[in-house]
Amino acid sequence: MNDKTLRDLYGLKRNPFEPNVPTEALWEPPQAVPFFDRMERAARIGGFGLISGEPGTGKSKVLQLLAARLEQQDNVEIGVMERPQSGIMDFYRELGVLFGVKLSPANRYGGFRALRSRWGEHIKATLVRPVLLIDEAQETPSDCLNELRLLGSIRFDSICLLTTVLCGDNRLEERLKGVDLMPLHSRIHARLGLDNLGRDDLRSYVIHALEEAGAPHLMTEDLITALADHANGNLRQLCHVAAQLVWMAAERELATIDENLFLDLCTPGNARPRKRARRMT
């Protein structure tokens, strides 16, 4: 069973509930729009932004959407940190790679000055700040976070050289309130706290995902409501169940996915006879 099966059977471009959905097809949570606007402005003045929330509430997808929005602005240079858990030496190495600066980790002062110089030159040429995005930032050591705070400002903290967006679960928010990171916490200009979603938002997500994948009528209204109610407000949980339903329907060659298949999934052993599907048009 593969994506070709879904294309042949339902006309789907892909399983719309799996993680590899392209950025242009992602659902945009309504509460994220003001945050995006603030971070677009922050690209011109620098500073810190924060995305936080419980696991499964869509933080990483929101960061992905933000990156796409920022990339549409002229001259914005974006670095995405791939190893947030690095110690200070590797942290500097990755910053050097991301922003095209040759650093010697053994000479942290030299690296400090080289990065500042690189960012300052970019600002003079473009009037916008480089942007650093850190997903899973709750794993980032405190000394690295504080190093970013010191790296990213000059002239007695009156000029910011970098725009940084931290994205992590609620442990990050708690850490930032601690004594060691309080100076960083006080510099966060834009915050987005993601919580469990309501039924209407989850329904909107499913409808959007199906439309973007090319099969808006694949699931019945009753099933969409049942998925929203079953997810307990957690977007990741909803996607896990919905993705399984799509593959189960394809295996059984069902023309439409309804609440009966959902009941089968929730009660293993209740297998129903396979039905031959008609090709969706």
What is the average pLDDT across 188-207?
A: 95
* φ, ψ dihedrals at 57, nearest 5°: -95, 5
**% the chain with pLDDT above 90:** 78
Using the predicted structure, report yes or no on whether residue 279 has a pLDDT greater than 60: no
Using the predicted structure, report yes or no on whether residue 57 has a pLDDT greater than 90: yes
pLDDT for 80: 97
pLDDT, tens digit, 9 for 90 and up, residues 109-158:
898 999 999 999 999 999 899 999 999 999 999 999 999 999 999 999 89
Intervals of CATH 1.10.8 along the chain:
3-20+197-266
Side chain identity, residue 114: A
CATH number of 3-20+197-266: 1.10.8
What is the average pLDDT across 86-94?
A: 93
Under 8 Å between Cβ of 163 and 42: yes
The reported pTM is: 0.90
Largest CA distance in the chain: 73
Using the predicted structure, report yes or no on whether residue 167 has a pLDDT greater than 70: yes
pLDDT for 1: 56
pLDDT for 109: 87
Intervals of CATH 3.40.50.300 along the chain:
30-194
Eight-state DSSP code of residue 130 = -
Mapped onto helix, strand or coil, the DSSP state of residue 147 is helix
Using the predicted structure, report yes or no on whether residue 275 has a pLDDT greater than 50: no
pLDDT for 8: 82
2 or 112, greater pLDDT: 112
b/e map 189-213, b = 16+ CB within 10 Å: bbebebebbeeebbbbbbebbbebb
What mean pLDDT is reported for the chain?
91
Under 8 Å between Cβ of 126 and 110: no
Any bridge partners for residue 94, and if so which? none
What is the average pLDDT across 163-167?
A: 97
Using the predicted structure, report yes or no on whether residue 159 has a pLDDT greater than 70: yes
In order, the DSSP letters of 262-276 are HHHHHSTT------P
pLDDT for 184: 96
- In which order are the strands placed within the sheet that holds 188-194? 78-81, 131-134, 163-169, 47-53, 188-194
pLDDT for 148: 94
pLDDT for 2: 65
Using the predicted structure, report yes or no on whether residue 230 has a pLDDT greater than 90: yes
pLDDT band at 270 (very low <50, low <70, confident <90, very high): low
Burial of 88 (0-12, 13-18, 19+ CB in 10 A): middle
pLDDT for 274: 45
CATH superfamily for domain 30-194: P-loop containing nucleotide triphosphate hydrolases (3.40.50.300)
Q: Where are the alpha helices (DSSP H) in the chain?
A: 3-10, 33-45, 59-71, 88-98, 108-126, 142-151, 170-176, 182-185, 199-213, 221-230, 235-252, 259-266
